[in-house]
Amino acid sequence: MGNMSWVMWVFPALVITLNAQMIYSAELFLAILKVHKP
């Protein structure tokens, strides 16, 4: 039971971090597309 408690904290933090990175990458990609448009 004690071993599962850290999973409950680490897993959501990991998911949030991955989502934030995906959003950041998408923003960066859109910014690059806007710059390259004539």
Domain total in the chain = 1
Q: What is the mean pLDDT of the chain?
A: 90
* Other Cβ atoms within 10 Å of 26 Cβ, number: 10
Q: What is the domain extent for residue 5?
A: 1-38
pLDDT at 1: 55
Kindly report the pTM of this predicted structure.
0.58
What is the average pLDDT across 16-34? 96
Structure tokens at 2: 């004690």
CA 35/CA 27 separation, integer angstroms: 12
Q: Quick check: 37 pLDDT over 90?
A: no
Q: What is the residue type of 11?
A: F
